[in-house]
Structure 1
């Protein structure tokens, strides 16, 4: 599909053609083409990359530390009468809400602009964490750490996720990879600091200190981040049902769906997995932190090579490798050293979906349709986000090895996700060959 856009730069108005879903964009061919008159490939965009990285650290990074809270709730029976599966739904609820209300955030951005929804998100996130610090019953934790925290993160993360592709024509992959590394960096920082605060102070002040830190970071980023909506004029429809009939969206959505199941099972299960094999809660938090460190390292690398060897080639390889790490390395993780190795190596690839979904959809549908495509994918992805960790807890064995079925299940999810992108890879190759013969 070829879309004719009229984009106004600061000095002139220029018409240019945008051709999404091409072999060149998805397979990394022709990246040395000249930029269009109103295209960017950096500049102030790098400031936006840093802002997106910090926002991701303050949203997904904090959410990535939920495994530490989960271990604390289960080991101390913090709320008597609450089951382990019920505790897992707190993290699943917050993660699913981030994605579920994406259409609402997209609509709010279209009506009010970029920054007002971000301010709302920052207030919600800080309020949720402070509210959780005063929770006396589990249902209060569901409303604060689960529901309200997820809404706040959604307004912040979904409200900014489409900005970076607007600033980069050639280097979308590396730019998004760097920004997505914020989840790993934030998870590393908040996993270690949360465990230390719970051990040395208490869980209430862990929430309050986290709220202060995230609020300060979010305010600075909201002030600095800038979009290019006036130039690009994206549709920003909450839903464009015409996209649902496109095979590219169905295949990418299925890849995202299965990848999130594997990602959530790995990230949230590692701390408790450590305790189940006789390690301490502190060692469990270190494993979770190292998994986040692996993501911080791996996402920019995946993004960089996706710009060089082709988006689909790199994403399929990284997703497949995540499954192999789970099946070969995590299943043999009966000691601290083995789990340390898996945390770092597995972490480099298990979060590939978060770093690459934006560039893949931008390549497939173009910048104007990107917000609508993202809204559909986020909404679909809310389902596995809500139930993945509950599924993992349900798969645990009563006797050692407790997490073996979870490890096999996670590996199969990643491998299945990679296989769903293979038809898209061949589809693009066939289309390119047909086009070449016609020319």
Structure 2
């Protein structure tokens, strides 16, 4: 007698192309190059706001804006990059290339329109909001497409992609200084705007999703913010630790040109030091991203955050000459920006790939809070006798160390060990 229970052919388990067959290479490395171009332009320009701020304070906006007001423009740009990422998440179903192209055009428009600014509020709308809004599309393109192509090499790929931020600053810093001195701020902005569009056009051609368009369109349109994510205590701890640590990132970058001039260095020396700092962020994001895949991404974030705080306490405080300030730029620049290549891999490890889009949206929105570190630093400086920088240096070190300790607690919760790989 035939057993009817055995007659039916067992169906294979349903496969999810988002989770299966991730190549960890192949065309993914071309996608990494396209993402490199995105961060090269976006953060390369965003990170040199200190040079434009210094130029505005002695020319077009002299007597019209305080240091706090000018520094807030750079913070607003970074806030816009983060808080508008949910808008770009809604366009993911139409392909990463559309996101990338839209962001490129908006950033170009933001820079060119900013060239006509004659009042402070003009820059808030153009450099702060419009450029930052366009940047959010590029930023989300980078963070969402890399996990499609990489798993075991994800931190390495993200490290190479985000190293463009440092190399972009290395290229834009002396270029902006030269253009402002030779042609003035308006034409410097226009040239940089078209430079942005040209570089991003190449990236838009190269970038593509691994997942087929039909799969993307079939995915239901959901809110990028899933409030249920906050029920995950580990995710909440990661949010708090990463935001607090990142609060110390922008202040030294924006303040470096002003600080260098305050200790008697020339504007050219100040620009060169900023270039060195940003170059170090590029080199170490690539190399330390590779190491992070081997020792653990969260481990690397904790180590770099702790070192960044230590360098702020013991080196920047005593940097009253070119040599000591150069040492600070090399060491602090090498550890300060590891949030950017590691945010996506760590979030994926904490919440899983299926919840990654919602997790990243929340992480990026909350990381906008960290941009307030710059106006906080400006307020601290104004309250410091003789407008000194000691309070800024202590604040930077403190938030980095605090963020590292919170993430160390997260690591212990996840692994029950302080020494294991995670």
TM superposition score normalised by structure 2: 0.90
Provide closer, same or farther for how the CA distance between residues 79 and 6 of structure 1 changes in structure 2, counting only shifts above 3 A.
Answer: farther
| Equivalent position of 1:389 in the other structure | 374
Q: CA RMSD in A?
A: 2.2
Question: Which is greater in Rg?
Answer: 2
Distance in 1 (alpha carbons) for counterparts of 2:44 and 2:239: 23
Q: Distance in 1 between matches of 2:72 and 2:417?
A: 44
Task: Find the partner of 1:245 among 199, 206, 231.
Answer: 231
Shift of 1:188: 1.0
Aligned counterpart, 1:64: 47
Query: Which residue of the partner structure matches residue 406 of structure 2?
Result: 420
Instruction: Map 1:25-424 to 2 at 5 A.
Output: 38-76=21-59, 78-110=61-93, 112-230=94-212, 237-385=223-371, 387-396=372-381, 399=385, 402-424=388-410
Q: CA deviation at 1:104?
A: 1.2
Structure 1 residues without counterparts, runs of 5 or longer = 10-17, 19-35, 433-439
- Residue by residue over 1:216-269, the C-alpha shift from the partner in whole angstroms, topping out at 9 and shown as x without a partner, is 111111111112244986887411111111122212211221122110112111
Over 3 Å counting, the alpha-carbon distance change for 1:428 and 1:180 in structure 2 is same
Distance in 2 (alpha carbons) for counterparts of 1:108 and 1:165? 17
Q: Residues 18-72 of structure 1: CA distance to partner in whole angstroms, max 9, x if unpaired?
A: 7xxxxxxxxxxxxxxxxx6x12111111111111111001101110011111111
Once residues 231 and 47 of structure 2 are traced to their aligned partners in structure 1, the CA distance between those partners, rounded to angstroms, is: 33
Q: What is the deviation of 1:325?
A: 0.9
Over 3 Å counting, the alpha-carbon distance change for 1:76 and 1:5 in structure 2 is farther
Partner of 1:23: none
Q: Structure 1 residues 412, 431: closer, same or farther in 2, change over 3 A?
A: closer
* Cα distance change of structure 1 residues 345 and 151 upon mapping to structure 2, 3 Å threshold: same
Aligned to 2:3: none
Cα distance in 1 for partners of 2:416, 2:306 equals 23
Distance in 1 between the 2:141 and 2:281 partners? 22
Deviations 1:85-128 (A, max 9, x none): 11111111111000011111111223x33222322211111111
Structure 2: distance between partners of 1:62 and 1:129: 9
> Does the CA contact (< 8 Å) of 1:62 and 1:186 recur in 2?
yes
Deviations 1:71-93 (A, max 9, x none): 11223363542222111111111
Residue correspondence of structure 1 range 5-44 to structure 2 within 5 A: 6-8=15-17, 38-44=21-27
Check the 8 A contact 2:95/2:209 in 1, yes or no. Answer: no
CA separation of 1:127 and 1:119: change in aligned 2, threshold 3 A: same
1:41 partner SS: coil
Query: Residue 16 of structure 2: SS of its match in structure 1?
Result: strand
* 3-state secondary structure, aligned to 2:15: strand
Given that residues 112 and 193 in structure 2 are in contact (C-alpha distance below 8 angstroms), is that contact kept between their aligned partners in structure 1?
Answer: yes
Q: Alignment partner of 1:76: what SS?
A: coil
Shift of 1:401: 7.8
SS at match of 1:382: helix
Per-residue CA distance 1:166-223 (angstroms, 9 max, x = gap) = 1112111111111111110001111111011111221111111111111011111111
Q: In 2 relative to 1, CA 121–268 (structure 1 residues): closer, same or farther, beyond 3 Å?
A: same
Query: Do the aligned partners of residues 431 and 350 (structure 1) sit closer, same or farther apart at CA in structure 2, a change above 3 Å counting?
Result: closer
1:315-335 CA-to-partner distances (Å, cap 9, x unmatched) read 111111111111111111111
Give yes or no for contact 1:302–1:315 (8 Å, CA) kept in 2.
Answer: no
C-alpha contact 1:134 1:204 (8 A) present in aligned 2: yes
Q: C-alpha distance in 2, partners of 1:39/1:278? A: 53
Could you tell me whether the CA contact under 8 Å between 1:361 and 1:373 is conserved in 2? yes
Does the 8 A contact of 1:330 with 1:407 survive in 2? yes
Aligned residue pair count: 402
Segment of structure 1 superposing worse, 101-110 or 178-187: 101-110
What is residue 31 of structure 1 aligned with on the other side? none
Gaps of 5+ in 2: 1-12
Asked if structure 1 preserves the Cα contact closer than 8 Å seen for 2:242 and 2:407, the reply is: no
